[in-house]
Amino acid sequence: MKVTVVGAGAVGATCADNIARKELCSELVLLDIKEGIAEGKAQDMMQTAALLGFDTKIVGSTNDYSKTADSDVVVITSGLPRKPGMTREELIGVNAGIVKSVCENILKYSPNAIIIIISNPMDTMTYLALTSTGLPKNRIIGMGGTLDSSRFKYQLSQHLNCSPADLNAVVVGGHGDTTMIPLIRLATWNSVPVTKFLSAEQQEQIVKDTMVGGATLTALIGTSAWYAPGASGAALVESILRDEKKLFTCCVALDGEYGQKDICLGVPVTIGRNGWEKIIDFELNADEQAAFDKSAAAVRGMNDVLKTL
Ligand SMILES: NC(=O)c1ccc[n+]([C@@H]2O[C@H](COP(=O)([O-])OP(=O)(O)OC[C@H]3O[C@@H](n4cnc5c(N)ncnc54)[C@H](O)[C@@H]3O)[C@@H](O)[C@H]2O)c1
């Protein structure tokens, strides 16, 4: 198996590191437009192989897409990250051009690849990748809800004083600070609804902290976070290559599901060897569906900006 990660910055390098440590593929290509950075980080990671005991061969490339040929999965992280005070949406102008050209270059050498989009604004970049490549919809997966759901579990675990791994909790909708919807009504602690253990105030706080999870870290670090985003990308790669059919919230093309069409938005999907394979209907209640529709309207507005670029 072969995987390419485009963008050897904070998120791309962390994602690649996770993929290599787990030996998800025999060859891993890290590609960046900036001279030398991908080769340098690839070599640095290879120098951990003897210590960590993995066999994945990591190759760096400065914009030479021939090295990415015949990749089974490609993770796109190239583009600007946000700085403190910025929204993800402000990145659209620069990142749309990057994501479109990266997709074109990738498909020249790996026409059968499954593509995971991480670059922001992720919902719109996923829609752009889908519409500009014309690939079957199951091969384009946006990574946002996977991260947001993991952040949701972290926030819940802090209030419940429990292991995040014992929690089932998902965030659906867009990947923006105001468009994501943490579904606290459906969250469980080993199958018991978390709402049984949390006051209304605590629930409200958890939802609020989850929604601004990325912005909180951007303010603390000075740029957007990378450990959980990189691990989230690698978790999707793992579910694809090992055909695990795990359930993740991913940004995928909707065709009537959750009441929406002609849009890519975060919903629970199974991830396996064919990319995203099945959308699971969580039967939102009226309030949740209204929030989902509002989220879709905001993302649609952002998608419309693509026409003006
Ligand atoms: N979807 C999510 O959940 C999520 C989470 C975190 C970050 N992000 C997004 O991921 C992206 C990367 O974030 P980061 O922190 O790694 O940024 P970064 O600046 O550390 O790295 C980005 C890398 O992309 C490279 N790049 C730029 N244009 C390129 C091109 N045309 N081809 C190849 N490489 C190119 C840059 O040289 C840089 O090394 C940002 O858009 C950020 O907002 C998304």
Any idea what the Cα angle at residue 268 is, between residues 267 and 271, rounded to 5°? 120
Specify whether 170 is located in the same domain as 275: yes
> Which residue, among 70, 75, 96, has the nearest Cα to 31 in the 3D structure?
75
Atom of ligand 1 nearest to the CA of 223: 15
Could you confirm whether 175 is annotated as catalytic?
yes
**Tokens of residue 99, six digits:** 């994501």
Distance 32 CA to ligand 1 centre (A): 10
Where a domain ends, among 125, 144, 163? 144
C-alpha–C-alpha distance, residues 97 and 134, integer Å: 17
Where a domain ends, among 124, 144, 164? 144
Specify whether 98 is located in the same domain as 33: yes
Task: Give the percent of the chain with pLDDT over 90.
Answer: 95
* 246-255 vs 261-272, strand pairing mode: antiparallel
Specify whether 119 is located in the same domain as 162: no
Q: Which amino acid is at 200?
A: A
Specify whether 227 is located in the same domain as 280: yes
Identify the helix (H) or strand (E) that includes residue 216: helix 213-221
How much is the pLDDT for 89? 79
Q: Find the helix packing angle between 145-160 and 213-221, rounded to 10°.
A: 90
Q: Tell whether ligand 1 has an atom less than 6 A from the beta carbon of residue 171.
A: no
How much is the pLDDT for 54? 97
Name the closest-CA residue to atom 10, ligand 1: 119
How much is the pLDDT for 83? 83
The predicted-structure confidence for 45-96, as pLDDT tens digits, reads as follows 999 999 999 999 999 999 999 999 999 999 999 999 888 888 887 889 899 9
Specify whether 55 is located in the same domain as 118: yes
Positions of the chain with pLDDT lower than 50, given as ranges: none
How much is the pLDDT for 122? 97
The predicted-structure confidence for 129-163, as pLDDT tens digits, reads as follows 999 999 999 999 999 999 999 999 999 999 999 99
Look up the pTM and report it.
0.98
Specify whether 150 is located in the same domain as 292: yes
Structural domain range at position 179: 145-308
